[in-house]
Chain A
Amino acid sequence: MLNFKGEQTMIEIKNISQAYGNTQVLREVNLIIKEKRITALIGANGAGKSTLLNVAANLLEPCAGTVLLDGKDIKEMKSQDIAKRIAILKQTQHLNMRISVRDLVSFGRYPHSQGRLKDEDEQKIRQAIEYMNLKEIENKFIDELSGGQRQRAYIAMILAQDTKYIFLDEPLNNLDIKYSVEMMTILRKLVKELSKTVIIVMHDINFAAAYADDIVAMKGGQIMKEGAAQDIIDQTVLTEVFDHEFCIANVYGKKVCVYFPPEDKSAKGDAINE
């Protein structure tokens, strides 16, 4: 993908391998992340999804391979410059920190301001807070918030960081269904309204099916299959990825995965047919 200046604008993952001790976590992974879309990384536990995300965001140095961010090797970039382009949110467990929502959001300006907030930074902070509907609770401490509010506060921080890419590591963990749907709706809005590129590690295959544009299915440290969500949510593909029988149903025109084996074996297949 080229922008009008003819520069490459994308994230390209080339031949990435990673190992912890003798365990090979990633094996020569190649992936190009498409712009202005939500890409979901799915797979069983230990498939290497989170590791891949961490490597792509430069939180983890791979044993081999390169990550190209907008055409440049990420290893040769300053961490501050990377943080201006990629924002990453990992599973959040800072519950013992008493930080107000506003302070948290202002941390997002660190790559730009180095801790000294200018008018422009204050403005971005205010916009992010308003965009995520946090105005009323901006002075509350994050340990006083509900799970959904807290997750929204973290997203506001990422918005204040003002990056093109947003990486999320299982953001739906510990969220009620209501807040999970809210979170995914927000992410769709970010892609549509703010032209963000979102890469998200997910556990719930149905959320990926419903909200992601592209899905990357991983198994054993390798990419099994990648493509548009419609193509990946497929009985044979998923059965292979998860080592488990799947059944794809069609509800409201959306594909839904059913992964409970039928009690009566002969009933199997009733729900198929799209």
Chain B
Amino acid sequence: MQTLKVTKDKKVNGVTIKRISLFLIFIILTVLSLMIGADNNVTIGNLIKMDDTAGQTFIISRAPRTIAIILTASGLSIAGLIMQAISRNKFMSPSTSGTTDAAMLGVLLSYLLIGKQPHIIQVIFAFIFALCSTILFMTVLNKIKLRDAVYVPLVGMMYGAIIKAFTTAIAYHFGALQIVSIISLGTFNRFTNFNLLYIVLVPLFLSVIYATRFSIAGMGEDFSKGLGLNYKRTIFLGLCIIAVISAASFVTVGPITFVGLIIPNMVSAFYGDDVKKSIFDVAVLGAVFVLLCDIFSRLIIYPYEVAVGFTIGIVGGLIFLIILFRRIKYGKQ
């Protein structure tokens, strides 16, 4: 028994080292993210000395922003992971299947129908639209059977563009184009409160608990039924998790593209497709990626900053292309 445990530990070692170093990078970036900003007063020294202005800046501006980044990034990455598992398609993600665009339409309609209202109403609108749109997209995708999974994000982006065009047309008709341009920018620099983002914790918690169910559902309907898993309910739960995360993060920080697509793909290259095995790494790597992009956006034209949505769009787009070309090159594995 003792010897068995030792050999097992040895095997696991490589994985553990990777995990620990990823987590260390995450901690370092979190601290960096907290320390960067226009106000040079915020240093660790000043915070320990309980400097009042530094403390204020830290609590009101810095900490919420960093927490928002971590929650959004981990949330969207896990949403992508679950979406890829239940659709059995490595190229699905909230931002490349119309989910985010539908959330935007929902937010716009909530403005037009009710006017200025608490953010929670916007989230509910965004949630309903995101859920319906994702169900529609996945149903259509199951029916048409694309020749290669590579086409899925492309079709998804076209579908998203149609919804976006529709949103713009409605906004134009009602003279609300300004609202669209505000909500369609992804940034952590909004002077909104990020409290709403804590909603994301609920679906994150659920996805960890039900990770095995999503893996099994990913093996197919008959496979799931054979193991006594309620397949349809699991898929619906997964879609709800995806929609809540997309809606809450869209309303608070705007569209963050590619994260949900590239992060699960990068992690599955190491750990495979078991949701339970990779969910922690997906969350941490997602946070690391967005923290990096955010720090870069804040430093490049310091003391001003670029909207993080641009940086993520460019870097994420490049990584997405690499994944796409690798996939085409190494064939249909």
Within residues 188 to 235 of chain B, which ones have a CB less than 8 A from any CB in chain A?
Answer: 209-213, 215-216, 218-220, 222-223, 225-230
**Max count, chain A CB within 10 A of own CB: residue among B149, B219, B226, B276:** B226
Query: Is A103 within 8 A of B227, CB to CB?
Result: no
Q: Mark A72-83, 1 if CB is under 8 A from B, else 0.
A: 000000111111
Query: Chain A residues with Cβ under 8 A from B273's Cβ?
Result: 97-99
Asked if A272 lies at the interface with its beta carbon under 8 angstroms from chain B, I say no
Query: Is A59 within 8 A of B11, CB to CB?
Result: no
Asked if A211 lies at the interface with its beta carbon under 8 angstroms from chain B, I say no
| Bound complex: CA A96 to CA B215 (Å) | 13
Listed A/B pairs (10) with beta-carbon separation below 8 Å: A54-B222, A89-B226, A99-B274, A103-B276, A107-B212, A107-B215, A110-B212, A115-B209, A115-B213, A143-B333
Within residues 98 to 135 of chain A, which ones have a CB less than 8 A from any CB in chain B?
Answer: 98-100, 103, 107-108, 110-111, 114-115
B102 to nearest A CB, angstroms?
27
Query: Is A79 within 8 A of B215, CB to CB?
Result: no
Query: Chain B residues with Cβ under 8 A from A100's Cβ?
Result: 272, 274, 277
For the complex with contacts A59-B226, A97-B219, 4 further pairs of A-B residues with Cβ separation under 8 Å are: A94-B223, A97-B218, A98-B273, A161-B227
Of chain B, the residue at the smallest CB distance from A140 is B272
Query: Is A96 within 8 A of B227, CB to CB?
Result: no
| Bound complex: CA A89 to CA B149 (Å) | 26
Asked if B268 lies at the interface with its beta carbon under 8 angstroms from chain A, I say yes
Query: Is A82 within 8 A of B216, CB to CB?
Result: no
| Bound complex: CA A87 to CA B227 (Å) | 7
Of chain B, the residue at the smallest CB distance from A169 is B222
| Bound complex: CA A111 to CA B268 (Å) | 26
Of chain B, the residue at the smallest CB distance from A106 is B212
At the interface, is chain A mostly helix, strand, loop or mixed?
mixed
The 8 Å CB contact of B219, one of A79, A81, A84, A94, is A94
B203 to nearest A CB, angstroms?
17
Query: Is B210 within 8 A of A107, CB to CB?
Result: no
Query: Is B222 within 8 A of A107, CB to CB?
Result: no
Query: Chain B residues with Cβ under 8 A from A98's Cβ?
Result: 268, 272-273
Classify chain A's interface size: 20 to 34
| Bound complex: CA A96 to CA B228 (Å) | 23
Of chain B, the residue at the smallest CB distance from A139 is B11
The 8 Å CB contact of A59, one of B211, B212, B225, B332, is B225
The 8 Å CB contact of B88, one of A78, A97, A141, is A97
| Bound complex: CA A58 to CA B226 (Å) | 8
Question: Given A96-B88, A100-B272, A79–B225 Cβ distance below 8 Å?
Answer: yes
Asked if A52 lies at the interface with its beta carbon under 8 angstroms from chain B, I say no
The 8 Å CB contact of B272, one of A84, A103, A115, is A103
The 8 Å CB contact of B220, one of A78, A88, A94, is A94
Asked if A57 lies at the interface with its beta carbon under 8 angstroms from chain B, I say yes
Query: Chain B residues with Cβ under 8 A from A59's Cβ?
Result: 222, 225-226
Of chain B, the residue at the smallest CB distance from A91 is B222
Query: Is A108 within 8 A of B227, CB to CB?
Result: yes
Query: Is A83 within 8 A of B226, CB to CB?
Result: yes
| Bound complex: CA A78 to CA B225 (Å) | 11
Query: Chain A residues with Cβ under 8 A from B268's Cβ?
Result: 98
| Bound complex: CA A161 to CA B230 (Å) | 17
The 8 Å CB contact of B227, one of A81, A83, A90, A143, is A83
Of chain B, the residue at the smallest CB distance from A86 is B226
Query: Is B227 within 8 A of A111, CB to CB?
Result: yes
A254 to nearest B CB, angstroms?
33
Question: Given A80-B228, A82-B228, A108-B227, A115–B219 Cβ distance below 8 Å?
Answer: no
Query: Chain B residues with Cβ under 8 A from A110's Cβ?
Result: 212, 216, 227-229
| Bound complex: CA A161 to CA B227 (Å) | 8
Query: Chain A residues with Cβ under 8 A from B225's Cβ?
Result: 58-59, 79
Of chain A, the residue at the smallest CB distance from B149 is A96
Question: Given A59-B225, A81-B228, A90-B222, A99–B215 Cβ distance below 8 Å?
Answer: yes
A231 to nearest B CB, angstroms?
32
Query: Chain A residues with Cβ under 8 A from B229's Cβ?
Result: 79, 110
**Max count, chain B CB within 10 A of own CB: residue among A54, A89, A99:** A99
